[in-house]
Amino acid sequence: MYAIAADPIDAAAVTAAVADPATGATCTFIGTTRDHHDGRRVTELEYEAYAEMALAEMRKIGAEAQRRWPIARVAIVHRVGVVPIGAASVVIAVSAAHRGAAFEACHFVIDRLKEVVPIWKKERFAGGEVWIGSQTGRRFPSGDGG
Amino acid sequence: MIIHLRFFASLRERLKTAALDRELPAGATAADAWAALCRDHPELEPLSASVSFAVNREYVERGHVLRDGDELALIPPVSGGAG
């Protein structure tokens, strides 16, 4: 299951999507929106995606995880639009025969997602709003290449 | 040739549009397209070091040569996920 969703994410459904009788471990990561950043009280977050490319990149990350670890299935769902504080903005589930691979692959998927998937987060706070990443971000792919 | 430009997040807001078509000379690269955009919108120049490029939904280096009809996305630093 790979999806960009405008509605609240059902973490149980994402977890169920990787169920497999050959597995003994499922690791589900739920990324939720936080009420503070850089000492500021955040009131709301909004996510924007380049949806067609984001989905393709999410599938590539899942495939890469499957090449690097002995895992069974991967599911990634990212929410877009306004997400209230405390709600899930991303849910990742990985199933494997054993827990070590499930934990490691799940960790890899969220880290990689934050690096390469074209999704942007805007924080709203009392008195303003800002796109996160634009201030300190780096290019991808790295390097100049002419 | 015509290149279909796509803008997101901070870039979309600065340009007040999500997409526009631009004529570029044959052989133009992603970097050339960005430079042309900066000539029209000098306020974008400070973003030059941080913008990434994707052609037809694949990341490319700035020297990637464009072809007529390509979709070129200008991608500000990404910030998806949480936690």
Structure tokens at A28: 């589900």
User: Which are the contacts of A14, defined by CB distance < 8 A and separation ≥ 6?
Assistant: A1, A28, A75, A77, A91, A92, A93
CB contact under 8 A, A78 and B81: yes
- As a whole number of angstroms, the distance between CA A115 and CA B33 comes to 24
Of A32, A119, A145, the CB nearest to B80: A119
Q: What are phi and psi of A105, to 5 degrees?
A: -65, -40
- Report CA torsion sign: B52, B61, B56, A4: negative
Say whether B11 sits in a helix, a strand or coil: helix
* Rg, chain B, Cα only: 12
- How far from B55 is each of A92, B63, B69, CA to CA, in Å? 27, 12, 10
Which residues of A touch chain B, with CB atoms under 8 Å apart? 29-34, 47-50, 52-54, 56, 78, 88-90, 110, 113-122, 131-134, 136-141, 143-146
Total domain count, chain B = 1
Residue with tokens 């639009």: A81
- As a whole number of angstroms, the distance between CA A79 and CA B73 comes to 21
Of A30, A117, A138, the CB nearest to B80: A117
* Amino acid (1-letter code) at residue B83: G
Strand partners, B29: B65
Give tens-digit pLDDT for A17-57. Answer: 999 999 999 999 999 998 888 888 999 999 999 999 999 99
CB contact under 8 A, A133 and B57: no
CB contact under 8 A, A31 and B10: no
CB contact under 8 A, A34 and B49: no
> What residue segments make up the domains of chain A, in order of their start?
2-126
Residue A144's pLDDT is: 39
In 3D space, the residue among A33, A118, A49 whose CA is nearest the CA of residue A83 turns out to be A33
Residue B41 in domain: yes
Q: Count Cβ atoms below 10 Å from residue B21 Cβ, excluding itself.
A: 9
Task: Output the pTM of the full model.
Answer: 0.92
Average pLDDT of span B33-40: 95
Residue B68's pLDDT is: 98
Range(s) of the domain holding residue B56: 2-75
pLDDT at A145 over 90: no
Residue A40's pLDDT is: 85
Looking at domain A2-126, its CATH superfamily turns out to be: Molybdopterin biosynthesis MoaE subunit (3.90.1170.40)
What CATH number does residue B33 fall under? Answer: 3.10.20.30
Give tens-digit pLDDT for A70-96. Answer: 999 999 999 999 999 999 999 999 999
Residue A138's pLDDT is: 63
Give tens-digit pLDDT for B46-76. Answer: 888 889 999 999 999 999 999 999 999 999 9
Residue A137's pLDDT is: 62
- As a whole number of angstroms, the distance between CA B83 and CA A125 comes to 18
Average pLDDT of span B22-47: 95
Residues in chain A closer than 8 A to B57 (CB atoms)? 50, 52-53, 56
- As a whole number of angstroms, the distance between CA B70 and CA B32 comes to 14
Residue A134's pLDDT is: 62
Residue B30's pLDDT is: 97
Give tens-digit pLDDT for A111-139. Answer: 999 999 999 999 998 889 999 876 556 66
Chain B residue with minimal CA distance to A29? B83
Of A88, A121, A140, the CB nearest to B80: A121
Give how far A20 is from chain B: nearest CA, Å.
26
Residue B81 in domain: no
